[in-house]
Amino acid sequence: MFFRGRRLRIRKEIRDLVKETVITPSDLVQPFFVVESDDPFFEKSIPSMPGQKQYGIKSLLEEIKKGISLGLSSIILFGIPKIKDDKASSAYDPDGIIQKAVKEIKDRFPELVVITDVCLCEYMSHGHCGIVKNGEILNDPTLEILAKTALSHAKAGSDMVAPSDMMDGRVKAIREVLDANGFENLPILSYSVKYASNFYGPFREAAQSAPSFGDRKSYQMDFRNKKEALREAKADLDEGADIIMVKPAMPYLDIIHMLNQSLEVPIAAYQVSGEYAMIKAASQNGWIDEKNVIFESLIAIKRAGASFVLTYFTLDILRMLNSEGNF
């Protein structure tokens, strides 16, 4: 027989030789939730995300230290402030939770890439990602607050800012403020292609950021659309984005693939809380093999074209890579 696909599948060493996709520690970004608490050693499990916790600053430092010993190279931070109001004041407070956490983390682990999520929903009393007036989420008045927030992260030592609010024009507003303040070399990882997804539920419990009325469909993308993804990504590149993110990841592999084919920038993907929760729940029930499903899901996202992946499985995968070297 001329073609036998099985020749190259016959044993592991040969399969490994011809593999097209790999996962390495530097492909992975671990998200962390950091809480402004009087107890710096605060720790609280997140019920819908088994294995994930909210941390006080000191307990987060301990967790990061363990991560680094496994090969952790990059994290993204989400803050849970003490005070929420209708102007998101705690988001750009120089002594806010993210600003303090970044300072302490970078002092202790200067090599670690610390990405900060720039959004207002965790800091707003109503849980929306922008200023609200008469039930409407206002775009342009929100830009200034986002830019102020990004600048405060940069001043605290953030290595990369990641706007996730989906207001139009926010990348430009952030780029201008950063450049005007001497941060022209700070990259923007834009959540350009962020769908109004039902897979964010567990995150909103973890970050205490669920909207108190309505939904996010007037600013996040309609998941029935694909062309719009290219339009959003190109607009963000024109405004100065350095990396384009697609979110969620596994149900959106077609989008990751399209953007990777069409654009000359790195594409990041966010394997979101609902994706994590589904895999955890099924494996806790003994319905799927957790380790192998985690691995396959990450490979699929990378194979589609993601340069790197934000995933709550990062520390689990690093542990697996350490104990087995390869899969």
Give the footprint of ligand PBG on this chain (CB under 6 A).
Answer: 117, 119, 121, 129, 164, 200, 203-204, 216, 272-273
Catalytic residue at 227? Answer: no
Name the minimum Å distance from CB 42 to ligand PBG: 21
By beta-carbon proximity to ligand PBG, the closer residue of 119 and 177 is: 119
Provide, rounded to whole angstroms, the least separation between the CB of residue 261 and ligand PBG. Answer: 25
Q: Which two tokens stand for residue 86?
A: 């209708």
Tokens 């194979």, residue located: 303
Report H helices in the chain: 12-17, 57-70, 97-108, 140-156, 170-180, 201-206, 227-239, 253-262, 273-284, 290-304, 314-324
Q: Measured in Å, how far apart are the chain's first and last C-alpha atoms?
A: 31
Please confirm whether the linkage preceding 266 is cis (ω < 30° from 0): no
Residue tagged active-site, from 100, 247, 280, 302: 247
For ligand PBG, the closer CB: 124 or 178: 124
Give the residue with the Cβ less far from ligand PBG, 58 or 205: 205
In terms of CB distance, is 20 or 101 closer to ligand PBG? 101
| Distance in Å, CB of 98 to ligand PBG, minimum | 13
Q: Answer yes or no: 247 catalytic.
A: yes
Beta bridge mates, 270: 310
d(CA 4, CA 209): 53
CB of 25: closest distance to ligand PBG in angstroms?
Answer: 20
Alpha-carbon distance 170 to 192, whole Å?
10
Beta pairing partners, 75: 30, 114
